[in-house]
Structure 1
Amino acid sequence: MRSILTCLMILLAVNSFFSQKTKQLEKLLAAYDQAGKFNGTILVAEKGKIIFEKSYGYKNGPKKEKNTNNSLYRIFSTTKMFTATVILKLEEEGKLSINDKLSKYYPNFPKGDSITVANLLSHTSGIPNETGSENTVDEETFIKFISSKPLNFSPGKQWDYSNSGYYILGYIIKKASGMNYDKAIESYILKPLQMNHTGFHFNTVTDENKAFGYDFLTDHMSNEAFRFKTDHPFAAGAMYSTVEDLFKFNESFKSNTILKKATI
Structure 2
Amino acid sequence: MFLLLFCSTIDAQFQEKKIDSLITTEFNDPNGPGGAFMIAHKGKTIYRKAFGKANLELNVTMTPDNVFQIGSMTKQFTSVAVLMLEQQGKLNVNDLISKYIKDYPSGDKITIHHLLTHTSGIKDFTKMKTISTIAQKEMKPEMMVDFFKNEPVDFASGEKFEYNNSGYVVLGYIIEMVSGQTYEDFIKKNIFEKAGMTHSYYATDRHVIPKRAYGYHQKEHGFVNKTVINFSVPFSSGSLMSTVDDLLKWQKALNQNILLNPAETKKAFQKYKLNSGEEFTYGYGWHLKDINGSPDREHGGSIFGFKSMGVYIPGEDIYVIGLSNCDCHSPTEITRNMAKIALQSVKK
Normalized against structure 2, the TM-score is what? 0.67
1:147 and 2:141 matched? no
SS of residue matched to 1:158: coil
User: What is the match of residue 134 of structure 1?
Assistant: 134
Letter in 2 for 1:198: S
| 1:91-130 alignment runs, 5 A limit | 91-130=86-125
Give me the whole-angstrom Cα distance separating, in 2, the residues matched to 1:92 and 1:70: 33
SS of residue matched to 2:143: helix
| 1:40-119 alignment runs, 5 A limit | 40-119=35-114
Residue 169 and residue 15 in structure 1: after superposition, are their counterparts in 2 closer, same or farther (change >3 A)?
A: farther
Give me the whole-angstrom Cα distance separating, in 1, the residues matched to 2:70 and 2:5: 36
Query: Which of residues 201, 206, 209 is equivalent to 2:208?
Result: 206
Report if the CA contact (8 A) 1:86-1:185 is conserved: yes
| 1:109-258 alignment runs, 5 A limit | 109-131=104-126, 132=131, 134=134, 137-216=139-218, 221-258=222-259
Letter in 1 for 2:162: D
Letter in 2 for 1:22: E
> Shift of residue 221 of structure 1?
4.3
> Shift of residue 61 of structure 1?
1.1
> Shift of residue 154 of structure 1?
0.4
Letter in 1 for 2:205: N
Letter in 1 for 2:191: I
Give me the whole-angstrom Cα distance separating, in 1, the residues matched to 2:211 and 2:219: 18
Letter in 1 for 2:48: E
Kindly provide the CA deviation profile for residues 85-136 of structure 1, in whole angstroms up to 9, marking residues without a partner as x: 1001111111100000011011221111110000000110011101536287
Report if the CA contact (8 A) 2:175-2:183 is conserved: yes
Report if the CA contact (8 A) 1:22-1:51 is conserved: no
Letter in 1 for 2:225: E
> Shift of residue 262 of structure 1?
2.1
Residue 32 and residue 152 in structure 1: after superposition, are their counterparts in 2 closer, same or farther (change >3 A)?
A: closer
Give me the whole-angstrom Cα distance separating, in 2, the residues matched to 1:174 and 1:126: 23
User: What is the match of residue 39 of structure 1?
Assistant: 34
Query: Which of residues 16, 21, 30 is equivalent to 1:22?
Result: 16
Which region of structure 1 is more displaced relative to structure 2, 113-122 or 141-150? 141-150
SS of residue matched to 2:205: helix
Normalized against structure 1, the TM-score is what? 0.87
Letter in 1 for 2:165: N
**Aligned positions, number:** 254
Residue 32 and residue 94 in structure 1: after superposition, are their counterparts in 2 closer, same or farther (change >3 A)?
A: same
What residue ranges of structure 2 are gaps of 5+ in the alignment? 266-348
Which region of structure 1 is more displaced relative to structure 2, 144-153 or 100-109? 144-153
Letter in 1 for 2:112: V
Report if the CA contact (8 A) 2:27-2:35 is conserved: no
Give me the whole-angstrom Cα distance separating, in 1, the residues matched to 2:23 and 2:119: 37
Residue 120 and residue 39 in structure 1: after superposition, are their counterparts in 2 closer, same or farther (change >3 A)?
A: same
Q: Report the structure, 1 or 2, having the larger helix content.
A: 1
Which region of structure 1 is more displaced relative to structure 2, 230-239 or 97-106? 230-239
Letter in 1 for 2:246: D
Report if the CA contact (8 A) 2:33-2:54 is conserved: no
Give me the whole-angstrom Cα distance separating, in 1, the residues matched to 2:108 and 2:210: 48
> Shift of residue 261 of structure 1?
1.9
Residue 144 and residue 60 in structure 1: after superposition, are their counterparts in 2 closer, same or farther (change >3 A)?
A: same
Kindly provide the CA deviation profile for residues 208-252 of structure 1, in whole angstroms up to 9, marking residues without a partner as x: 41111111289x942122121343210000111111101111122
Letter in 2 for 1:167: V
Q: Percent of counterpart pairs with the same letter?
A: 32
> Shift of residue 162 of structure 1?
1.3
> Shift of residue 16 of structure 1?
6.0
Give me the whole-angstrom Cα distance separating, in 1, the residues matched to 2:134 and 2:71: 18
Report if the CA contact (8 A) 2:145-2:169 is conserved: no
Letter in 2 for 1:151: V
Letter in 1 for 2:248: F
> Shift of residue 63 of structure 1?
1.9
Which region of structure 1 is more displaced relative to structure 2, 92-101 or 104-113? 104-113
What residue ranges of structure 1 are gaps of 5+ in the alignment? 1-9
